[in-house]
A and B are shown apart, each in its own frame.
Chain A
């Protein structure tokens, strides 16, 4: 028997963490750390982390890392990359961090076409502070300050940050992944690889990852994936939103998602996608 799946990525110092049971963020963490390792970028990567639950990964990620403030990672990453243009620089931010506090930073950085990769962990709530609404919370979604569900008239509309960034000339690769099932996790890792390759080739890349937050959503852990598909997943559509110079429409993304989900299921049933 050969080992096809290591317990933890090589670039992770320890598998111990204090994320809640059922949290989707560690699934994204594995994805991008393995992508960096497999592309041979481990000794030239500098991470810039924002503030959220995922901040604790700053202590366990075996990469040179600059801890930034809430919302501020893209500007810090810009400063790092400009002084170390041969390095691979990425930001790690939650939706509250990137789309609330730091919206102008990510927009400006993408518009400028900075050769960095911005990674968004989107669970539609402020996880660390207890589950309040963010700019990506979808209509109807229950959060601590939208207990009866987000209402457009009172709470306004969500911002679909991936779609917004895909409109910017300066953004080369814009993708939205998800970790609600094994196939989606595998697809998301491929998006990370394309994103980092885009940076190596000199362009701005962005990978949004829809992640489960059963604690912030006030649901049992096992219901996380289905809840996510029914709420965030219906509005923030998975797929490569912009790649190879083409911005895909929602219909195209839907078609692809159905097709790829079926492919992934079949591959797993046959005995595996190599993780």
Chain B
């Protein structure tokens, strides 16, 4: 692994119909794994979609005004593997 940093693994659920498209989660995500959709929800807003690499840090949940996210994290970070 580069830099010797072991990152935890996580995921989020996204309540896309609740989102109001404010974009605050996008830059808030440290690994930058959220991007706004091209589709819109029933309110007409774009909403975030999750790419690979979520660490479960919950920054998105902290900055989201609309209670869109639920965040999960692995209990222990995965063991380091030979490949990096």
Q: Do chains A and B touch in the complex (CB under 8 A)?
A: yes
Report the nearest B residue to A20, measured CB to CB.
B20
Q: Which residues of B contact A265 (CB under 8 A)?
A: 30
B24 within 8 A of A: yes
| CB <8 Å contact, B73 and A1 | yes
| CB <8 Å contact, A2 and B66 | no
- By secondary structure, the B interface counts as loop
| CB <8 Å contact, B62 and A186 | yes
The answer, among A2, A23, A185, A270, for a CB contact under 8 Å with B62, is A185
Task: Please classify how large the interface on chain A is, using the bins under 10, 10 to 19, 20 to 34, 35 or more.
Answer: 35 or more
CB distance from B66 to the nearest CB of A (A): 7
Task: Give residues 211-259 of A contacting B (CB, 8 Å).
Answer: 214, 221-222, 224-225
Q: Which residues of B contact A27 (CB under 8 A)?
A: 62-65
CA distance A230 to B47 in the complex (A): 27
CB distance from A109 to the nearest CB of B (A): 29
Task: Please classify how large the interface on chain B is, using the bins under 10, 10 to 19, 20 to 34, 35 or more.
Answer: 35 or more
Q: Total number of A-B contacts with CB less than 8 angstroms?
A: 128
| CB <8 Å contact, A7 and B67 | yes
Residue among B18, B61, B68, B77 with max Cβ neighbours from chain A (10 Å): B61
CB distance from B44 to the nearest CB of A (A): 11
The answer, among B26, B30, B75, for a CB contact under 8 Å with A2, is B75
| CB <8 Å contact, A271 and B24 | no
CA distance A44 to B8 in the complex (A): 37
| CB <8 Å contact, A8 and B67 | yes
A181 within 8 A of B: yes
A21 within 8 A of B: yes
| Per-residue contact bits, chain A 21-35, to B (CB 8 Å; 1 contact, 0 not) | 111111100100000
CB distance from A256 to the nearest CB of B (A): 20
CA distance A247 to B1 in the complex (A): 46
CB distance from A228 to the nearest CB of B (A): 12
Report the nearest A residue to B14, measured CB to CB.
A7
| Per-residue contact bits, chain A 156-200, to B (CB 8 Å; 1 contact, 0 not) | 000000000000000000000001011001100000000000000
A201 within 8 A of B: no
| CB <8 Å contact, A19 and B7 | no
Q: Which residues of A contact B30 (CB under 8 A)?
A: 265, 268-269
A129 within 8 A of B: no
Also in contact, A15 and B72, with CB within 8 A (given A272-B55, A275-B62)? no
14 contacts between A and B (CB under 8 A): A3-B72, A6-B70, A21-B45, A22-B23, A27-B62, A27-B64, A30-B67, A181-B28, A182-B58, A182-B62, A185-B63, A224-B24, A272-B58, A273-B58
Tell me the B residues contacting A by CB distance below 8 Å. Answer: 5, 7-11, 13, 15, 18, 20-24, 26-28, 30, 45, 55-75, 77
Tell me the A residues contacting B by CB distance below 8 Å. Answer: 1-8, 12, 15-17, 19-27, 30, 179, 181-182, 185-186, 214, 221-222, 224-225, 265, 267-275
